[in-house]
C-alpha cells in the first residue's frame, strides 16, 4: 500500500520557493507544490529572538519518495537548518482519486496500490 505524504517547508522568498518547487515536480519527487502567501516567522536562533518574512510550501509526494524529496530540498535550501516536516495523509477522509494521482505523478508503477 502506498501512502501519500505532505512535506512542509519555509523559504526566504518566492523566487527560491518557486525554483525548488519546479525542480522537485520536474524530477518527479513531488506531484505538486503549493506555494502559500507570505508569512511572518518568529523564532529563536543562536540565542536571540529573530523575525523573518518567509514563504511556506506544501509538497505532495509518497512515503517512498519522502526521504529523497527531503534530501533534495535540504540540498537546495539557503538556510543552515531548514524547516522540513513530513505529515502522512490519512486514507480515511482523503479523496482516493487525488491520492492515486499523487502516486502516479511521482512514478509509482501501481497507482491503484493505495486503495
The answer to whether the pTM exceeds 0.85 is yes
Does any domain span residue 112? no
Q: What is the pLDDT of residues 40-92, one digit of tens each?
A: 999 999 999 999 999 999 999 999 999 999 999 999 999 999 999 999 999 89
Q: Is residue 64 part of a domain?
A: yes
Among residues 20, 30, 19, 97, which one has the least CA distance to residue 64?
30
pLDDT at 1 over 60: no
Residue 111 within a domain: no
Residue 81, domain member (yes or no)? yes
Q: Structurally, how many domains does the chain consist of?
A: 1
From the CB of residue 21, how many other CB atoms can be counted at a distance below 10 Å?
22
Q: How far is CA 61 from the centre of its chain?
A: 7
Amino acid at each position: 500500500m502506498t501512502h501519500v505524504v505532505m512535506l512542509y517547508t519555509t523559504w526566504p522568498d518566492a523566487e527560491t520557493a518557486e525554483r525548488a518547487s519546479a525542480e522537485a515536480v520536474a524530477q518527479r519527487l513531488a506531484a505538486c507544490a503549493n506555494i502559500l502567501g507570505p508569512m511572518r516567522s518568529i523564532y529563536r536562533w543562536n540565542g536571540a529572538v529573530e523575525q523573518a518574512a518567509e514563504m511556506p510550501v506544501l509538497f505532495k509526494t509518497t512515503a517512498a519518495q519522502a526521504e529523497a524529496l527531503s534530501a533534495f530540498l535540504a540540498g537546495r535550501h539557503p538556510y543552515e537548518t531548514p524547516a522540513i516536516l513530513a505529515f502522512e495523509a490519512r486514507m480515511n477522509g482523503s479523496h482516493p482519486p487525488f491520492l492515486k494521482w499523487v502516486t502516479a505523478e511521482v512514478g509509482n508503477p501501481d497507482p491503484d496500490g493505495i486503495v
